[in-house]
Amino acid sequence: MAANKSTSWCTTEMAQGMHVFHVHRYSLLKALGLRRSVRSATFTVAGCNWAVRLYPSGAGASPQQHASISLDLLSVPAMSAAVAEAWVVFSLALVDQTTPGQTRSLLPGGAAKKLQTFRVAMAEPIQTPPNRASWINVDRSTLESPPYLVGDRLAIACEVTVIKDPRVSASLPLPHVASPPPGLANDLSELLESAGVAADVTFDIGGERSPVFRAELLGPMKENASGHVTVEDMQPAVFKAMLRFVYTDELPAMADHDDDDARTEMHRHLLVAADRYAVVRLSRLCEDALCSRLNARTVKRTAELAELHGCARREKACKQFFLASRFTDVEKALQGRCTYSSLFRPCPLRLMPATTSSCTTETALGVHVFQVRQYSLLRAQLGACQFVRSGSFAVGGCDWAVCLYTSGELSEVHLWVCVDLLRSANAEVMTLVGVRQVDHATGRTRSLLPDAKAKQFYTFRTKTALVSTGNAFIFGIDRKEFEAPPYLQDDRVTIECEITTIDEPRVPANQPLP
């Protein structure tokens, strides 16, 4: 009595998604300061919500020459256990904006992907570590260089693969293709009764065991008195093995094939030859051998052969393997709505769920020109800590003024300029400030900021009593340079103040990647 044979498969399911985070006007985001960030729109993979977070000035405790990037787990599906774990393989890369499809990995050591386990406890807020991936520090020279930063814009690509718990299929009968019983004795008996009609050619027995051989040797295709038949498109070793089966009714021992891959390949060739020459029993034996070796590496070609040669038994065995392994689109295959070859067609990365979001930073720009006439009289009248102030001007919904301290509090060799925030509805106002002095001879300007910077990032805070660090931006100027002609001309100086207010970065909901 034949032993019952069964099989089962252990498979690990995965869910994959990709998100591209576009950051516009990157240079303005540096005003956010240390440990402040902008976050992408939320994207969903395996029922979990994720986001990419960028810290333009770094996420460490002190200033550094790095930006920081992280992958954040924002929310998870309802948990049945007190603690849930998610195995995640993720990648973070800068997108080359000059060469489509090119990226540069941001992971340590240039690794393509990183494996991390996220643990979520019901009693803890979702934002607490380790629900957030480790910070990845990115050198500014890399982040801010072309081709990654182009037009003050950069893009970060994140690919997330969530690995689910392994799943074991139910036990199924071992795929098996029934072979017809040996027929050599019956075929030899028929050959004996044929009165030697094929005895004048080489394939005297072969012609009787194969209807195709019979047609070639005895039908209209017979080569006149040649005693020779040319076989096209078949390897000699394969034809010899088939001919041996014709004479012995057994599959060759395949001693020359020392591994399963080589034996599987030989059985595939023999299967094609047996179907070509209608050697039914050899075909069934090859089918049985191939089905017994089904695995993730061999099932593709075995399924394609079954589809090509129309073998229902082989297709059924492959479908059982697909069903137990839960390959993608198996239900469609079982219902005949797609072919096996389409199941294995290579899929480009874009076929995974892919989304994109953009971080935009709105700004408002204003310029005010403050002319100070009869400068020498003003300087004589004003004492230490006294100043003259410009008229107020509005930029970004806030009221501003420029103040000039003609007598420095700390030293007579300096005077002071102050940009003052007079009114704002917000507790903090991020700005980009430029303060310049006008050359009255040419109309050109020079920067008055420390180190002759063109502009300075500064955050005004309206709820602090400290003028120097709160609602005013103040800095010293060398008196001799300030009062030198042609900047002081006709007892007149002109200060030009440019203010750019920077709103909080805004990230709309994500969109499908076009």
Nearest to 342 by CA among 351, 332, 355: 332
Residue recorded with tokens 């500064």: 458
In order, the DSSP letters of 302-353 are: HHHHHHHHT-HHHHHHHHHHHHHHT-TTHHHHHTTSS-HHHHTS---GGGS-
d(CA 181, CA 387): 112
- With H, G, I as helix, E, B as strand and everything else as coil, classify residue 77: coil
Give CA–CA dist 398/41, Å, rounded. Answer: 29
Quote the radius of gyration of the chain (alpha carbons, Å): 40
Give the residue from 322, 347, 372 where a domain finishes. 347
Residue 513: inside a domain? no
Mean pLDDT of the chain: 77
Over residues 453-462, the pLDDT tens digits come to 999 988 898 7
**Range in 216-225, 239-248, 319-328, 349-358 the model is least confident about:** 319-328
Residues 386 and 307 in one domain: no
Which run of H or E residues covers position 256? none
- Beta-bridged to residue 159, according to DSSP, are 18, 91
Domain with 422, as residue range(s), is 363-502
Please give the DSSP secondary-structure letter assigned to residue 150: B
* Structure-block tokens of residue 410: 């700390």
| Pair (193, 342) in one structural domain | yes
Whether 403 shows a pLDDT value over 60: the answer reads yes
Confidence of residue 177 (pLDDT cuts 50, 70, 90): low
Q: Cβ distance 414 to 421 under 8 Å?
A: no
> Are residues 343 and 379 both part of a single domain?
no
Answer whether residue 429 is part of any domain.
yes
More confident residue, 337 or 385: 385
Length of the chain: 514
Domain boundary, last residue among 117, 138, 169 = 169
Q: What angle do CA 338, 340, 341 make, to 5 degrees?
A: 100
HSE (CB half, 13 Å, CA atoms) of 173?
7
In a domain, 491, yes or no: yes
- 341 and 373 share a domain? no
Q: Are residues 196 and 136 in the same domain?
A: no
Q: Domain tally for the chain? A: 3
495 lies in a domain?
yes
Q: Please state, in angstroms and rounded to a whole number, the distance separating the CA atoms of residues 404 and 479.
A: 12
Residues 278 and 317 in one domain: yes
Residue 22, in any domain of the structure: yes
In the listed set 113, 134, 169, which residue is the last one of a domain according to the structure?
169
Q: Distance between CA 113 and CA 340 in Å, rounded?
A: 30
**pLDDT given at position 256:** 62
Cβ 459 vs Cβ 469: under 8 Å:
no
Say yes or no: 337 and 194 in one domain. Answer: yes
Q: Residue written as tokens 């080589």?
A: 262
Q: Is residue 510 part of a domain?
A: no
Helix (H, G, I), strand (E, B) or coil at 284: helix
Determine, yes or no, domain membership for 242. Answer: yes
Residues 203, 123, single domain; the answer is no
Supply the CATH number for residue 137's domain: 2.60.210.10
Choice among 33-47, 154-168, 185-199 with the minimum mean pLDDT: 185-199
Evaluate whether 224 touches 257 at the Cβ level (below 8 Å): no
pTM for this entry: 0.60
What pLDDT is recorded for position 395? 96
230, part of any domain: yes
Give the pLDDT band (50/70/90) at residue 226.
low
**290 and 439 in a common domain:** no
Same structural domain, 260 and 332: yes
Residues 443 and 342 in one domain: no
Report the range of poorest mean pLDDT among 40-49, 213-222, 328-337. 328-337
pLDDT digits (tens, 9 = 90+) for 246-282: 777 777 776 566 677 788 888 888 888 888 888 888 8
CATH number of 292's domain: 3.30.710.10
Q: Are residues 113 and 51 part of one domain?
A: yes
Rounded CA-CA distance 106/55 in Å is 14
